[in-house]
Amino acid sequence: MSEPAATATENRACFELRGASQTLTVMELHHFDPDALERDLRDKIRQAPNFFRDLPLVIGLDHYEGNAADLDFFQLIGICRTHSIQVLGVRGGDDDIRRLARNAALAWLPGGQASAPRPVPDPEQDTAENTEEGAPAITSTGAGRLVKQPVRSGQQVYAPEGDLIIMAPVGAGAEVLAAGHIHIYGPLRGRALAGVHGDTSASIFCQSLEAELVSVAGHYKISEDLQGDDWRTPARIRLEGDVLTVDPLTR
Amino acid sequence: MARIIVVTSGKGGVGKTTTSASISTGLAQRGYKTAVIDFDVGLRNLDLIMNCERRVVYDFVNVIQGEATLNQALIRDKRVENLFILPASQTRDKEALTAEGVQKVLDEMSETFDYLVCDSPAGIEHGALMALYHADEAIVVTNPEVSSVRDSDRILGILQSKSRRAEQGMDPVKEHLLLTRYNSERVERGEMLSLEDVNDILSISLLGVIPESQAVLNASNQGSPVILEDESEAGGAYADAVARLLGEERPLRFLDGQKKGFLKRMFGG
């Protein structure tokens, strides 16, 4: 019964290597105190248990203030694992940290772009092209991405550079991510994550806020925390200092 | 070349097989040579609804594996001319549907038929993917409740990314929404989503609204597609849906309790 499938796979190479970019959650570590970490982590998880289940995590050390010697990666991994969070690697830090990470079998990634400036989108670039119907749904412009069709449950749209503009609804169970701003000309019912590389000046704009989750530069709010006056109204979500705030779009 | 229509939903129990039976019967009644193909290998039901379960000798999987010819497996419907049923296998599993095998059978059928209606299994796994892969058009069957609408949204996303038309960069699959088990009283009481709610979430063109009706249940128990029950509301609604599928304009019927202005809004633009 499975013979035809077997012969088809035999002719193909075992694997191919491809470049891929994946959005990951980074835990920016300021100092390492196992007890405090355990406690704070448990608090966070209680707020959004589904978000954290089997979450792949990178430890960010760009803002680490303690000594490299205090960092016990084995203990850190242990704490995360008890909460079913999978530590993949370490970002940033000096050579000592790099060595410690290697000893703990963690991958080391070069320092973060938390403060890297965002490319300024060229306003004239998006206007003229792609007016015909039936063209591929997703248009990649130099400075961002323009999507004309609804983003459906289970779909993910990512603008690794610049802004993401969606001229349709974002359905429940869909996810949209951008390095810069996210504009949604329709209701936002799924998840929207702006400033995924750490741009704290990014915003999310939508015509009706019905989101499952909104996030700017890693600061997020879930649906439960968004049920204020701005629910189901046009809204802008932005960071004010360290606090994610929701403003009405119409005044 | 036949036009290939997949009847799909993601969620189970929403009326895919009932819809496949009625739409294919309706197309055949209009004089188009039509075959309805059961992709639900292992859980076949279509033959029951089409009342041909005692005439199944060979099935879809037999044809794919070269154990029978297409003509041996196709069952001619006794009530409607031009209508044929290709039943699923009850004893195999969905992996028996290979991409190459399905392609070969559909290519062969395309030469002689006008319409091929593919009855998809529930879910988004292999069987459902095989059913939707070759589609030119998709009828997304949805009940007016949140989980069904969510699953339909998911299947629309899959149609846009995993169908042959998407993979080969052709014109996208033409999507139609068919709202089934619609009960206007329960909508008014707030127990069901309204047509407007569903349209707001899915935003695809509406093929029809089938009212919740005892006639549907009776018809499937008797092995007769409900579209043959001319006097029932559900039968009439399916006949309208077939007409719209063929590009005719029909006003929406059987939506008691909906305001007139609303109907105009649906079809005005």
> Given A109, A137, A158, which residue is the final one in a domain?
A109
The pLDDT tens digits for A146-172 are 999 999 999 999 998 899 999 999 999
pLDDT, residue B263, reads 52
Whether A185 and A93 map to the same domain: the answer is: no
Pairing label, strands B75-76, B83-86: antiparallel
pLDDT, residue B71, reads 95
Whether A102 and A181 map to the same domain: the answer is: no
CB B181 within 8 A of CB B47: no
In a domain, residue A68? The reply is yes
Candidates A152, A157, A189, partner chain B, best to mutate (most B CBs within 10 A)? A152
What SS3 string covers chain B? Answer: CCEEEEEECCCCCCCHHHHHHHHHHHHHHCCCCEEEEECCCCCCCHHHHCCCHHHCCCCHHHHHCCCCCHHHHCEECCCCCCEEEECCCCCCCHHHCCHHHHHHHHHHHHCCCCEEEEECCCCCCHHHHHHHHCCCEEEEEECCCHHHHHHHHHHHHHHHHHCHHHHCCCCCCEEEEEEEEECHHHHHCCCCCCHHHHHHHHCCEEEEEEECCHHHHHHHHHCCCHHHCCCCHHHHHHHHHHHHHCCCCCCCCCCCCCCHHHHHHHHHC
pLDDT above 70 as % of chain A? 80
Which positions in chain A have a beta carbon within 8 angstroms of at least one beta carbon in chain B? 1-2, 4-5, 8, 134, 136-137, 149-155, 168-169, 171-174, 187, 189
pLDDT, residue A9, reads 57
Whether A94 and A171 map to the same domain: the answer is: no
* B18 annotated to a ligand binding site: yes
* B257 annotated to a ligand binding site: no
Say whether pLDDT at A46 is over 90.
no
Q: CA A29 to CA B17: how far, in whole Å?
A: 55
Whether A153 and A223 map to the same domain: the answer is: yes
* B11 annotated to a ligand binding site: yes
pLDDT, residue B29, reads 97
pTM of structure: 0.67
Of B101, B154, B160, the CB nearest to A137: B160
Chain B residues with CB under 8 Å of A151 CB are 157
Is A5 in Cβ contact with B98 (below 8 Å)? Answer: yes
The pLDDT tens digits for A185-201 are 999 999 999 999 889 99
CATH of residue A87 = 3.30.70.260
In a domain, residue A9? The reply is no
Is B172 in Cβ contact with A2 (below 8 Å)? Answer: no
pLDDT, residue A131, reads 33
Whether A160 and A188 map to the same domain: the answer is: yes
Whether A182 and A239 map to the same domain: the answer is: yes
Of B100, B158, B172, the CB nearest to A4: B100
* B8 annotated to a ligand binding site: no
Whether A105 and A132 map to the same domain: the answer is: no
Q: CA B47 to CA B68: how far, in whole Å?
A: 18
Is A4 in Cβ contact with B98 (below 8 Å)? Answer: yes
Say whether pLDDT at A119 is over 70.
no
Which positions in chain B have a beta carbon within 8 angstroms of at least one beta carbon in chain A? 92-93, 95-96, 98, 100-101, 150-151, 153-154, 156-158, 160-161, 169, 171-172, 200-203
Average pLDDT for chain A: 80
Whether A132 and A67 map to the same domain: the answer is: no
Task: Count the domains in chain A.
Answer: 2
Whether A90 and A164 map to the same domain: the answer is: no
Average pLDDT for chain B: 92
Is B101 in Cβ contact with A155 (below 8 Å)? Answer: no
In a domain, residue A43? The reply is yes
pLDDT, residue A42, reads 85
Which CATH homologous superfamily contains domain B3-246?
A: P-loop containing nucleotide triphosphate hydrolases (3.40.50.300)
pLDDT, residue A144, reads 85
Domain ranges of chain B: 3-246
* B91 annotated to a ligand binding site: no
In a domain, residue A210? The reply is yes
Q: Structural domain of residue A97, as residue ranges? A: 25-109
Is A149 in Cβ contact with B160 (below 8 Å)? Answer: yes
Does residue A221 or residue A93 have the better pLDDT? A221
* B63 annotated to a ligand binding site: no
What does the buried/exposed string (b/e) look like for B15-29 if buried means 16 or more CB atoms within 10 Å of the residue's CB?
A: bbbbbbbbbbbbbbb
Whether A131 and A241 map to the same domain: the answer is: yes
CB B114 within 8 A of CB B32: yes
Whether A170 and A135 map to the same domain: the answer is: yes
Of A4, A136, A169, the CB nearest to B203: A169
Instruction: Report the pLDDT averaged over residues A38-59.
Output: 81
- pLDDT per residue rounded down to tens, chain B (269 residues): 899 999 999 999 999 999 999 999 999 999 999 999 999 999 999 999 999 988 999 999 999 999 999 999 999 999 999 999 999 998 888 889 999 999 999 999 999 999 999 999 999 999 999 999 999 999 999 999 999 999 999 999 999 999 999 999 999 999 999 999 999 999 999 999 999 999 999 999 999 999 999 999 999 999 999 999 989 999 999 999 999 999 999 999 888 744 444 554 555 43
Is A169 in Cβ contact with B201 (below 8 Å)? Answer: yes
Assembly ipTM:
0.73
Is B160 in Cβ contact with A152 (below 8 Å)? Answer: yes
